[in-house]
Amino acid sequence: MGKITDALRKAAEERIERLDKISRVKEREQLIVRKIGDSKVDPRVIAYFDSKALITEQYKILRTNLLSINKGKPPKVIVVTSSLHSEGKTITAVNLAVVLAQSTKRPKVLLIDADLRRGKVAKYLGVHSTVGLADILTGAAQPADALFNIDIDNLTFIAAGSSPENPAELLDSENMKGFISAMKMKFDHVVIDTPPIISVTDAGLIAGQADGVLMVIQAGRTQRGIIQRATELLNQAHSNILGHVLTNIEYHLPEYIYRYL
């Protein structure tokens, strides 16, 4: 009986220790994410609707390439930008965030809409969110007031929020730096959607604070000289360009690949 009693006591102590660890973790997190139901996600966020779609597979390849950088220590904070407007950067950022969240280990992923001038993340998610990054940076709201998700529990969003008069100054502020540092502690991956690098200075300001930048290029539209200029601006901002994502590509796959898919 003594051995059984000791075993039961040891099991009880281990259970108490596990519960104590869980309690300490919850205390550290302290962030409550609001769930917004009845979302009407844009069909272009194909990774949300069909995890086996051909386009989704391309985003998964992008995910694999990003996670393989630095041999086990991939970039944690990733900025997504473009040279010009309407090249597909926001759709790319949202799809990338979705496939990151769908990874085998189900990491905690945060997508931040840092386009304080023309933010569209909330629109593409089909939700209405009046509080966002701008409100956090001005002190009008706390991060907990702006965090929300839809129906992917490990994928969290922050919308752009109110339209400020000084977006560049806010993004270059100590508040922004502190906010990014805090989110790095809370999430495994942070994806930041920014304005086009040539149009305004915002992307360059944030890129310098991130681990790397993805530049989205619309095939058949963006001229080589414009891409070179965008690259120069990112280099001037001391950013780490991880690679380029081509959008609006039309191609045909061999029939046997279609059969395989």
Distance between CA atoms of residues 247 and 261, nearest Å = 21
What is the full per-residue pLDDT of the chain (261 aa) written as tens digits?
455 555 555 555 555 555 455 444 444 445 555 545 555 899 999 999 999 998 999 999 999 999 998 877 889 999 999 999 889 999 999 999 999 999 999 999 999 999 999 999 999 999 988 899 999 999 999 999 999 998 898 999 999 999 999 999 999 999 999 999 999 999 999 999 999 999 899 999 999 899 999 999 998 888 999 999 999 999 999 999 999 999 987 654 454 443 433
- What pTM value is reported for the model? 0.82
The backbone region for 42, taken as left when phi is positive above 0, alpha when psi lies in -120 to 50, beta otherwise, is beta
* Distances in whole angstroms, Cα of residue 241 to Cα of each of 48, 124, 173, 234: 26, 26, 22, 8
Tens digit of pLDDT for each residue in 234-256?
Answer: 999 999 999 999 998 765 445 44
Amino acid of residue 187: F
What was the pLDDT predicted at 24? Answer: 46
Strand order in the sheet with 155-158: 34-35, 148-149, 155-158, 109-113, 189-193, 77-82, 212-218, 241-247
Decide yes or no: CATH 3.40.50.300 for domain 32-260. Answer: yes
Q: What is the pLDDT of residue 164?
A: 93
For position 257, what pLDDT does the model report? 43
Query: pLDDT at position 5, please?
Result: 53
pLDDT digit string (tens) for 81-93?
A: 999 988 999 999 9
Whether 130 contacts 76, CB under 8 Å: no
